[in-house]
Structure 1
Amino acid sequence: MKDKFYQYIQNLQNQITSKLEELDGKATFQEDIWKRLEGGGGRTRVIENGNVFEKGGVNISGVHGKLPKSMQAYFNVGDVDFFACGLSLVIHPKNPMVPTVHANWRYFEMYDEDGAIIDQWFGGGQDLTPYYLFEEDAKHFHEVCKTACDKHNPEFYLKYKARCDEYFYNAHRNEGRGIGGLFFDYCKASDDMTMENWYDFVTEVGDSFLDAYVPIVEKRKELLYTEANRTWQEIRRGRYVEFNLVHDKGTLFGLKTNGRIESILMSLPPHVQWVYDHQPEAGSEEEKLLAVLKNPVDWVKAP
């Protein structure tokens, strides 16, 4: 399973970076192949200063070795070996009318002293972080997510949409990081789903990513914007940074397992502002966005 999924994310990385380069029309992804001293490595690809994308990363990794003590406590296990692989991406567009997007699809195994698998699971998801709310974009993104879920279980979309709203939440701000999407973790074999079934589901979601995001970029990338729009984008990016450094489990896992710091922090945008006690004008588009971030919306009506 680990070899099969790692091959999948290598191919998916190629598909996504090729399409994003085509969309940008100027910048290309810089590739960085790296090795992890304790075992494994990855392929980082970063795009910067393009026509459309100010900064973005589409990274894959496959790491293995002894599970660090700090993570043993987290997983409530003893001395075990592990393997983890995944694709993680964050794209920060230049135009404030184009949303930031994040996605991650991953697989994890743990082994006993004889090398036998004692636990394995999939996780991942994709979510959208707009700076200005276009409701038709939010509906499109969620409809694509729901379509992918419905092919495998009619209960998945509502379940994983709710988990996404719950997980990507800045509790210290009492607001969501964005308008959500899907978030699932610890997807293990059960009476209802084999690991092959989970593989099919996770790859279905991964394959849907470009369908969910690209039409939104194409629709918004040429819209006019002001310096005030740009300032708001940078203030909101600050909230994005806060989540990734304070709450994100992926960042924590990378740091705890001696991950490659450049790859871990590639999610951080290049231009950010923190303005003291900033409040948007009453009735403004900025205030409209905040209202949605404080009260998640059901963008797609369930049957």
Structure 2
Amino acid sequence: MKKIDKIAATYSELQKKMCQILESADGGGKFNSIPWKKEIGGGESQLMEDGKIIEKGAVNFSFVKGKFSPGMEQLLGEKAGEYAATGISSILHPQNPRVPVIHMNVRYFALDNGVSWFGGGIDLTPHIIYPEDAVSFHRTLKEICDRYNHKFYPDFKKWADDYFFLPHRNETRGIGGIFFDRLKPGEQNSFESLLNFTLDLANVYPEIYDGLMRKYGSKPFSKREKKWQNLRRGRYVEFNLIYDRGTRFGLESGGNTESILASLPADASWKTNYIPPKDGFEENTLHFLRKDIDWINFTA
């Protein structure tokens, strides 16, 4: 489990770099550092509120160790005495409804029984879906995946479609991305290769959002678009509180509650039996909230 100390140091430095890029792209907001420490370990939450473009954002780093509880055994399906985990988790909620929500997580998990793995991914949740942005986003992720294993993108894209899904709404959370877990070093993927894969994803994350903020951050928007944004935020809240495994594990392991729940937007709303206007951007967005869209070869 000693490898995890070096990985934690690398992730911690990367967190600082990500915050610098995002602050520069926002052009006004600043991340405030909130270190935290508990018996299981600690970390640093970098939080931004009321930025020029980012309404609420978090770039969190954690490094924790502790007893592998019965609850963790049930959640992860492993038997062990102790665990250690480190990672970066980030989510950004924008002011402007034309800018999407973005989420990224990379992590390394090790048990004292010798089992260890990487996990993570990136996904995009637009309030208003512009297909050309979805195509560009997925092609960027595919390019990174293909550097390491040509099976990564199709497998992890499918995984994201299935994971970021609200069955009670029969809709995806957004346009997906990639999601992976239990990615263990082996013959096909060395430890160094998998570590570099997670670092490439973390590095491209602020670059992707830089482009989207520059494209849409200063665009005018209507009250109707803002109302729709808050309705879509409600769906985001539903997923994170009901289905998200990171939220569940963080609370089960006794992590920092404020950091765990930093993924929630500043505002959200719900409307009973909402029916969107016919042929509007709302209905068009709902049309794309489904699994298995081939964004790499998508044509309008």
Q: TM-score, normalised by structure 2?
A: 0.95
Q: Say which SS state the counterpart of residue 191 (structure 1) adopts.
A: coil
Matched residue, 1:24: 26
2:250 aligned to 231, 254, 258, which one?
Answer: 254
Give 1:78 deviation, angstroms.
4.0
Structure 1 contact 97–220 (Cα < 8 Å) conserved? yes
Task: Show the 5 A alignment for 1:1-303.
Answer: 1-37=3-39, 39-112=40-113, 118-301=114-297
AA aligned to 2:27 is G
AA aligned to 2:281 is E
Q: Say which SS state the counterpart of residue 151 (structure 1) adopts.
A: helix
AA aligned to 1:40 is G
Structure 2 contact 18–203 (Cα < 8 Å) conserved? no
Unpaired runs of at least 5, structure 2: none
Query: Whose relative contact order is higher, 1 or 2, with alpha carbons under 8 Å and at least 6 apart?
Result: 2
Q: Say which SS state the counterpart of residue 290 (structure 1) adopts.
A: helix
Structure 1 contact 141–212 (Cα < 8 Å) conserved? yes
AA aligned to 1:19 is I
AA aligned to 1:276 is T
Q: What's the Cα RMSD here?
A: 1.4
Superimposed CA distance per residue, residues 41-99 of structure 1 (whole angstroms, 9 cap, x where no aligned partner): 00001000111011010000000010122112223344510001110001000000000
Which ranges of 4 or more aligned residues in structure 1 deviate by more than 4 Å?
Answer: none
AA aligned to 1:98 is V
Structure 2 contact 71–252 (Cα < 8 Å) conserved? yes
Q: Which moved more, 1:222-231 or 1:207-216?
A: 207-216
Superimposed CA distance per residue, residues 206-239 of structure 1 (whole angstroms, 9 cap, x where no aligned partner): 2221232221111011111011100000000000
Distance 1:295 1:196, change over 3 A: closer
Q: Say which SS state the counterpart of residue 156 (structure 2) adopts.
A: helix
AA aligned to 1:26 is G
CA distance in 1 between counterparts of 2:12 and 2:117 reads 19
CA distance in 2 between counterparts of 1:27 and 1:19 reads 12
Unpaired runs of at least 5, structure 1: 113-117
Superimposed CA distance per residue, residues 271-295 of structure 1 (whole angstroms, 9 cap, x where no aligned partner): 1101111121121111111011034
Structure 1 contact 179–296 (Cα < 8 Å) conserved? no
Give 1:243 deviation, angstroms.
0.2
CA distance in 2 between counterparts of 1:235 and 1:201 reads 34
Q: Identity of aligned pairs, percent?
A: 39
Q: Which moved more, 1:74-83 or 1:7-16?
A: 74-83
CA distance in 2 between counterparts of 1:298 and 1:106 reads 27
AA aligned to 2:133 is D
Structure 2 contact 26–213 (Cα < 8 Å) conserved? no
Matched residue, 1:115: none
Structure 1 contact 148–208 (Cα < 8 Å) conserved? no
Structure 2 contact 22–206 (Cα < 8 Å) conserved? no
Give 1:153 deviation, angstroms.
1.2
Distance 1:277 1:198, change over 3 A: same
